[in-house]
Amino acid sequence: ILFQIFDAFKSRLHDSNSKVNQVALETMHKMIPLLKDNLSPVINMLIPAMVDNNLNSKNPGIYTAATNVIQALCQHLDNYLLLQPFCTKAQFLNGKAKQDMTEKLA
């Protein structure tokens, strides 16, 4: 059931409507401390949805919400769960997003 919920939710994380996108990121930020390592089955699906367009967003609200989500992941999930998806994102992103992900990896 976790897959079904987050499969539907992930499309909101990169919605074309910036307000929907930002609220989804802010909601994700609130959910991470509650779910913690229980997110492990869906983390490889969620990280690209949270990072791809949001960390390079020119909208300051979306960028801030995305960086808050990444910070919450680092605080509340086992770093082992984040290593592979963060490495993959750092390798293939560009601009500010690449810099942000590389800093988190370091």
Q: If DSSP states are collapsed to H, E and C, what string results for 6-35?
A: HHHHHHHHHCCCHHHHHHHHHHHHHHHHHH
Quote the tokens at residue 11: 């499309």
- What pLDDT, in 10s, does the model give residues 46-76? 999 999 889 999 999 999 999 999 999 999 9
- CA 100 – CA 94 distance, rounded (Å): 10
- CA 106 – CA 102 distance, rounded (Å): 6
Q: Which long-range contacts (CB under 8 A, 24 or more apart) does 73-78 make?
A: 73/32, 73/43, 73/47, 74/104, 75/33, 76/32, 76/33, 76/36, 77/32, 77/36, 77/37, 77/39, 77/40, 77/43, 78/37, 78/40
CB atoms within 10 A of CB 53: 17
Q: Look at the chain and report how many structural domains it folds into.
A: 1
The per-residue pLDDT for 14 is: 87
**Residues 58, 31, 104, 85: is their CA dihedral positive or negative?**
negative
Per-residue pLDDT of the chain (106 residues; tens, 9 = 90+): 889 999 999 999 989 999 999 999 999 999 999 999 999 999 999 999 999 889 999 999 999 999 999 999 999 999 999 999 999 999 999 999 999 999 999 8
Domain that holds residue 76: 1-104
